[in-house]
Amino acid sequence: MTTRRWIMPSLLTLVALLAIASIVIGRIVLGWNVWLDQDAIGRTILLELRLPRALLGVAIGAALGLAGAALQGYLRNPLADPGTLGVSSVAAFGAVLSIFFGIADLHPWILPLSGVAGAMAGMAALFLLAGISASALTLVLSGVILSAIAVAGIALVLSLSPSPWAAGEIVRWLLGALADRSLDDLVISAPLIAIGAALILSSRQALDALTLGEVGARSLGIDLGRAQWQLAGGVGLVVGASVAVSGIIGFVGLVVPHLLRPLVGAKPSALLVPSAVGGAALVLAGDIVVRILPGGSEVQLGVVMSLIGAPFFFALLYSMRRQVT
Amino acid sequence: MRRHAQLLCLCVALFVASSPPAHAEEPARIVSLNQCLDAILVELVPTERIAAISHYSRDPLRSPIAALAQRLPITYESAEEIVALRPDLVLASRHSAIPTRNALRRVGIHYELFDVPFSVKDSLAQIRRIAALVGNAAAGEVLVSKIQRAIDAARLPPGAPRLTAAVYETGGLTAGANTVTDDLMQIVGLDNLAARYDIQTHQPMQLELLLAAPPDLLLVGEVPAADGTQAARVVQHRALRKVHSKRWDFPARFMYCSGPTIVEEVAALAAARDAIYAVSRAQAAR
């Protein structure tokens, strides 16, 4: 019980520290006198590049952590991650299409909005495929189908791309990064993430009841159909909005709930908010790592997340296995 | 209302960009984000006016201006670096990340986007566009006429037979229709096998197609020794040994960058063609 009391304040402190570090660290070294010297360039870098990047790191990390915890709770399966429902792949496909047709350059809003449109289309397809009163299994299988179609679509677009440069442009975006994002991206994604998070958080009662199984939950008076679509809608919104801005950043939604479960207990609803804060911390930390890694070009955040995430996850599983046996 | 105004501005800007600029205000701090644009830029302006070029230009294997690039500042295409250089003109290609271009636009840095040229005409137009942007149209014309002289010198002599040829780089990549390389092959008197199979731009070509109708000339990229990658193995595929086409060294950098590179590329194509003529003349004499 004592651990639970300090976990939230320390996570929030961690996020605050990492956010400050994220604003301070970068390729161009900014002095403390950015404000005093009327240094227009320094101020531009700070306000237009570093600040949006840090804020997006918080928003997207929180979105991925929250979605991961919600899905693991709902499906009662620790393998679920934000990509499970396929919405992230369809969102990526939407964004990739806008690059392929060359409209992404017309206005900075077109690329993220295409991603959001893709996420919405993905959610609509999920409803159609799974039906309103779907079981969790049908929902997951529909997600797998959606994901397969979207990935095939992305591969098709890549192979049809008119030049190696254009293909590179698409791949670069797909790998997932927060580099050079702007406040526009935050303005587009943050409201959708907020609505989605509200939907997810309002279904916490159902999540807890579901630990007793579907029958048990129903006997507690939970409207499972409604709870399910509230969750799916919420996850679709938060994940779609993040993918639309940053591309696909893997592993965050999978790892963070596992990290925090031993600290906050197994109750799914108690895991939601800590997972969001933990996700924010992890994405911020990863985004700082890509900037301080040696070498010229920045490594993509999505790549680093998987590179660090996979061995870490393995170590975690290994220690858990030892505890059980 | 504001959105409409922005759209209007964008259309006007596009229109202005496509017509030659009326004023000749010379940008003094130019940043280029692409190796191919770098190679054109260094021909058109003195190095003092170049604030930075792309880091790819320092690659001694792939860059035609590697030696010069060692002395010039570079960027790694991040918006932070570009903003800190306070450029008055940025030359960007489709290779640069979309968020980076958006960030430049937001900050109010003038950038121009260039695509891969699909023909010699495109490439020369690209040179003229850059020359106009940097306020040195005359230097652009000098470079264009130098390229045109090189092309004219490599033209197929009247009466000489046309040959078939194919480019085959690591990974099976070839230059199909709608590429500068295809254009140059036509001029030199080489019929491009890849274009005949309707391969568009730079795509891989199936080895089968090559084996079914081996061309007179096979233009292959350099294969680094002891390179065990799948990409390199395709070029050294067993089946390729059965192809008795004349092989000619054709570096991959010819395929991606045109502009000043055309001079070297078209000469290489003509030399390969003449080598085959020499072989057939020798056989006829025997």
Distance (Å) from the C-alpha of residue A167 to the closest C-alpha of chain B? 9
- Write out chain A residues lying below 8 Å of B115, CB-based: 163, 165
**pLDDT of res. A18:** 95
Alpha carbon distance A151, A155 (integer Å):
6
CATH number of A2-324: 1.10.3470.10
**pLDDT of res. B239:** 73
Superfamily of domain B25-148: Nitrogenase molybdenum iron protein domain (3.40.50.1980)
Single out the residue of B42, B66, B62 nearest to residue B130, CA to CA.
Answer: B42
Q: Dump pLDDT digits (tens) for A97-154.
A: 998 888 888 888 889 999 999 998 998 888 888 876 667 888 889 999 999 999 999 9
User: Would you say the C-alpha torsion B216, B219, B224, B229 has a positive or negative sign?
Assistant: negative
User: Is B84 in contact with A28 (CB distance < 8 Å)?
Assistant: yes
- Write out chain B residues lying below 8 Å of A299, CB-based: none
Helix ranges (H only) for chain B are 2-18, 35-44, 66-69, 79-84, 98-107, 120-133, 137-154, 180-188, 193-196, 207-212, 230-235, 238-241, 253-256, 261-285
**pLDDT of res. A124:** 87
Q: Is B113 within 8 Å of chain A by CB?
A: yes
Mean pLDDT across chain A: 87
Residue B1 has pLDDT above 50, yes or no: no
- Write out chain A residues lying below 8 Å of B96, CB-based: 169
- Asked whether the beta carbons of residue B95 and residue A296 sit closer than 8 angstroms, the reply is no
pTM: 0.80
Q: Dump pLDDT digits (tens) for A157-167.
A: 988 877 767 78
**pLDDT of res. B243:** 75
Residue A33's identity, in one-letter code, is N
Alpha carbon distance A109, A95 (integer Å):
11
Alpha carbon distance A98, A112 (integer Å):
9
3-state helix, strand, coil in chain A (%, to 5): 75, 0, 25
User: Is A180 in contact with B99 (CB distance < 8 Å)?
Assistant: yes
Single out the residue of B14, B267, B263, B282 nearest to residue B144, CA to CA.
Answer: B263
Using CB atoms, pick whichever of B96, B97, B102 lies closest to residue A182. Answer: B102
**pLDDT of res. A34:** 66
Residue A75 has pLDDT above 90, yes or no: no
> Of A301-305, B80-84, B114-118, B125-129, which one has max mean pLDDT?
B125-129
**pLDDT of res. A62:** 96
Over residues B129-144, mean pLDDT: 95
Q: Is B206 within 8 Å of chain A by CB?
A: no
Cα distances from A87 to residues A18, A180, B217, in angstroms, run 29, 25, 49
**Residue B253 β-bridge partners:** none
The answer to whether domain B157-285 has CATH 3.30.499.10 is no
Alpha carbon distance B201, B116 (integer Å):
10
At A173, is the pLDDT very low, low, confident or very high (cuts 50, 70, 90)? confident
ipTM of the complex: 0.76
- Asked whether the beta carbons of residue A163 and residue B94 sit closer than 8 angstroms, the reply is yes
The pLDDT > 70 percentage for chain B reads 86
Neighbours of B154 (CB within 10 A): 22
Q: Dump pLDDT digits (tens) for B142-183.
A: 999 999 999 999 999 988 999 999 998 877 788 999 999 999
Neighbours of B276 (CB within 10 A): 18
Residue B228 has pLDDT above 70, yes or no: no
B185 against B17, higher pLDDT: B185
Q: Is B93 within 8 Å of chain A by CB?
A: yes
Q: Is B125 within 8 Å of chain A by CB?
A: no
Q: Is B95 within 8 Å of chain A by CB?
A: yes
Q: Is A213 within 8 Å of chain B by CB?
A: no
**pLDDT of res. A202:** 93
- Write out chain B residues lying below 8 Å of A99, CB-based: 98
Distance (Å) from the C-alpha of residue B279 to the closest C-alpha of chain A? 36
Quote the Cα angle for A50-B98-B133, to 5°: 105
**pLDDT of res. B23:** 45
What lies within 8 Å, CB to CB, of A35 at 6+ separation is A43
Distance (Å) from the C-alpha of residue A107 to the closest C-alpha of chain B? 8
- Asked whether the beta carbons of residue B80 and residue A99 sit closer than 8 angstroms, the reply is no
B245 against A31, higher pLDDT: B245
**pLDDT of res. A275:** 95
**pLDDT of res. A170:** 87
Over residues A24-44, mean pLDDT: 74
Neighbours of A133 (CB within 10 A): 10
Over residues B233-261, mean pLDDT: 77
Alpha carbon distance B69, B42 (integer Å):
9
List own/partner pairs for A42-50 with CB under 8 A and 24 or more apart.
A44/B83, A44/B107, A45/B80, A45/B83, A45/B84, A48/A182, A48/A183, A48/B83, A48/B103, A48/B106, A48/B107, A49/A180, A49/A182, A49/B79, A49/B80, A49/B83, A49/B103, A50/A22, A50/A23, A50/A26, A50/B80
**pLDDT of res. B244:** 76
A172 against A21, higher pLDDT: A21
Q: Dump pLDDT digits (tens) for B229-244.
A: 544 555 667 777 777 7
Distance (Å) from the C-alpha of residue B102 to the closest C-alpha of chain A? 6
Q: CA A245: distance to chain centroid?
A: 10
Alpha carbon distance B96, B113 (integer Å):
9
Q: Dump pLDDT digits (tens) for A181-204.
A: 888 899 999 999 999 999 999 999
- In chain B, CATH 3.40.50.1980 covers 25-148, 157-285
Which two three-digit tokens encode residue A99?
A: 């690059």
Distance (Å) from the C-alpha of residue B1 to the closest C-alpha of chain A? 16
Mean pLDDT across chain B: 84
